[in-house]
Homo-oligomer: A and B are copies of this chain.
Amino acid sequence: MAGPPTPLGPGVGPGGGPGAGPPARERADAARNRSRALAAAEELFAEQGVAATTMDAVAARAGVGKGTLYRRFGDKAGLAAALLSERGRELQQGILAGPPPLGPGAPPARRLVAFVEAYLAFQSSRVDLVLLSETGPPGARLRKPSYAFWRQHCTLLLSQAGAPDPALRAEALLASLAAEQVQHWLREGRDPEALRGALTGVAAALVPSRDP
């Protein structure tokens, strides 16, 4: 199996401050426009909801051309992903180097359960943003670098735990955790706690139980 998964993709820089520096040299106006766009998007999403916010509106509010928006973020989903990148990075950090059971050190089955819980919490914090970031041409979300990270992590854990077909089971698990599905469950009134319990149960069921 491969080494440590790759981090979140590039192009998603500082949310509102000089926290993380852009990887490559970036022109001054480019940096300025990027933070303007992110700020405008955040505002509009808060004011009128994610679904009702158009890219034209974001561009106008940011005082920027639409072309700029698209060169920077690719598409609407990319814009959402950029807004989520900080939280996503935190979660990735917790997985790679944080304390057990999410981070290294705990037995793989335990880590998998912890991942499910953390991933659910991550999603619940900005449901509609996550949903938007996963919306797009069919299959697009399965090709994004962030998805590759989660997949590889789960694959590794399932493999270590001795589950058959770890790669496929990892994707099956992630399919159950897709934003569309989770939002559907929440909308129809499922108790978040019960949901958490049931989904960790699914994760546990995917590794063979060794009990006599």
Partner of A199, one of B168, B199, B209: B168
The reply to whether the CB of A27 lies closer than 8 angstroms to some CB of chain B is: no
**Contacts of A159-174 to chain B: CB distance below 8 A:** 164-165, 168-169, 171-172
Which of A131, A138, A164, A199 has most B Cβ within 10 Å? A138
Copies of the polypeptide in the assembly: 2
- Distance to closest chain B CB from A24 (angstroms): 30
In Å, the complex CA distance between A167 and B209 comes to 21
Decide if A202 touches B172 in the complex (CB within 8 Å).
yes
Q: Is A31 at the interface (CB under 8 A from chain B)? A: no
A180 and B131 contact, CB distance less than 8 A:
no
Residue pair A183, B139 in contact (C-beta under 8 Å): yes
Q: Which residues of B contact A195 (CB under 8 A)?
A: 168
- Name the B residues within 8 Å of A190 (CB-CB): 168
Minimal beta-carbon separation of A162 from chain B (angstroms) = 13
- Residues of chain B within 8 A (CB-CB) of A131 are 138
A-B contacts besides A135-B138, A139-B184, 11 pairs, CB < 8 Å = A138-B180, A139-B183, A165-B198, A168-B190, A168-B199, A171-B176, A172-B172, A172-B175, A176-B176, A209-B210, A210-B211
